[in-house]
Amino acid sequence: MKVLRPISILVSCLMLTASAEAQVSLTPPNAADRPPPADRPAAKTGEDLKEKPKPKPPAIARKPAAPVATPKPETPAPAATGAPAPVPGDPNVDLVYGAYQRGQYKTAFDLATRRAQGNGDLKAMTMLGELYASALGVKGDDAKAVEWYKRAADGGDREAMLALAMMRLSGRGGPVNREEAAKLLASSAKLGNPKAAYNLALLYLDGQTLPQDLKRSAELLRVAADAGNPEAQYALATFYKEGTGVEKDMEKAVRLLQQASLADNLDAEVEYAIALYNGTGIPRNEAAAVALLRKAAREGSPIAQNRLAGVLVSGRGAPMDKIEGLKWHLVAKTVGKGDPMLDEALADLSPQDRAKAEAAAHKWLGDK
């Protein structure tokens, strides 16, 4: 199901802080790994490097954080692609959502309209808001989306509350109203919506709409994390890693990173791989760490690409393969993620091997 366009809450605590080091060690990405400023000097080789001390608590700077989670109508589990149409008249089948899942947006719109106008079905109202907001089956109209979301929210639908909050935060369908958005998120979270709890946590962390309250932010992240929200799991892992709003606890941080990683959160995959590689908060397992780094590198993480390059260039945790490793380094550099020590390794290659690494990088980028 498509979702509303996300917005960004500007907070830095969702960024992990540590210096970038190559070759024989892996260290967590820091804020400098997100936007592309100049790289920091790498540590000397030959050491079993550990993570460097970090300031505590972290400063709340104005840097982009993970996108705010966006809502979708709360409905039964999606039908499998190509599944037969629901049987008309079966009260246990949501015909509106079934049509939506099959891409029959006009049908979903017509059915939802009849339900919303005929018997005040709150889920149908929320669906109408989604269809208008996403221009599916009907011409996009943010004002009408807000109208339907508001009707459903006023009736107590927690998904509509979340969706309307996101519209208010982004200024879609009306002026930005962060205070109303905060109230809607609080109401939705109180009704058990983990995405609302996550977004409300970010508002408490950001400190613009609500007074900054790191402890309350951590509590809300815990609610969302316990409900299986991978963004919240990743954010809360950062809190435990840095001692932000909670007592610092690397073991808890790593467990949360593992959970988010299993849910395919890319940032968490990288962080968990680095923890495994260094044996930070978890027994060291270089083979598993390298496998995760390969996965994240293929999924497009430039941080993972450079960390994998360091492993392959040094031959620690995987057989040495400088051409393959520096291929990944060259791929990462296309988005501005450099590494001085890997640059040195690239310069030390013979012209023939450098040409092979460059050709491999071009092939990978061309395949994408």
Least confident of 55-64, 109-118, 138-147, 218-227: 55-64
Assigned domain for 135 exists:
no
Assigned domain for 64 exists:
no
Nearest to residue 102, comparing CAs of 185, 14, 1? Answer: 1
Encode pLDDT of 83-96 as tens digits: 333 334 444 448 99
Question: 73 with 132: CB under 8 angstroms?
Answer: no
Tokens 């031959």: give the residue. Answer: 315
* Average confidence (pLDDT) over 56-60: 33
> Whole-angstrom Cα distance, residue 201 to residue 267?
19
Encode pLDDT of 323-338 as tens digits: 999 999 999 999 999 8
Assigned domain for 146 exists:
no
One DSSP character per residue, 6-28 reads P---B-STTS-------TT----
Convert 189-222 to b/e letters by CB count within 10 Å (16 or more is b). Answer: beeebbbbbbbbbbbbbbeebbeebbebbbbbbb
Confidence class for position 363, pLDDT limits 50, 70, 90: very high
Residue 189 confidence (pLDDT): 98
Encode pLDDT of 231-269 as tens digits: 999 999 999 999 999 999 999 999 999 999 999 999 999
Beta partners for residue 64, in sequence order: 10
Assigned domain for 199 exists:
no
Q: To the nearest whole number, what is the mean pLDDT of the chain?
A: 81
Q: Which domain holds residue 273?
A: 31-53+264-367
> Whole-angstrom Cα distance, residue 290 to residue 308?
7
CA 178 → CA 1, 46, 169, distances in Å? 26, 51, 5
Alpha helices in 191-318 (DSSP H): 194-206, 214-226, 230-242, 250-262, 266-278, 286-298, 302-314
Other C-beta atoms within 10 Å of 88: how many?
A: 7
Per the document, the length of the chain is: 368
Assigned domain for 41 exists:
yes
Residue 312 confidence (pLDDT): 97
Residue 94 confidence (pLDDT): 82
134 — alpha (psi -120 to 50), left (phi > 0) or beta? alpha
Assigned domain for 79 exists:
no
Assigned domain for 230 exists:
no
Question: 265 with 233: CB under 8 angstroms?
Answer: yes
Assigned domain for 314 exists:
yes
Domain count, the chain: 1
pLDDT at 130 over 60: yes
Amino acid at 64: P
Encode pLDDT of 180-193 as tens digits: 999 999 999 999 99
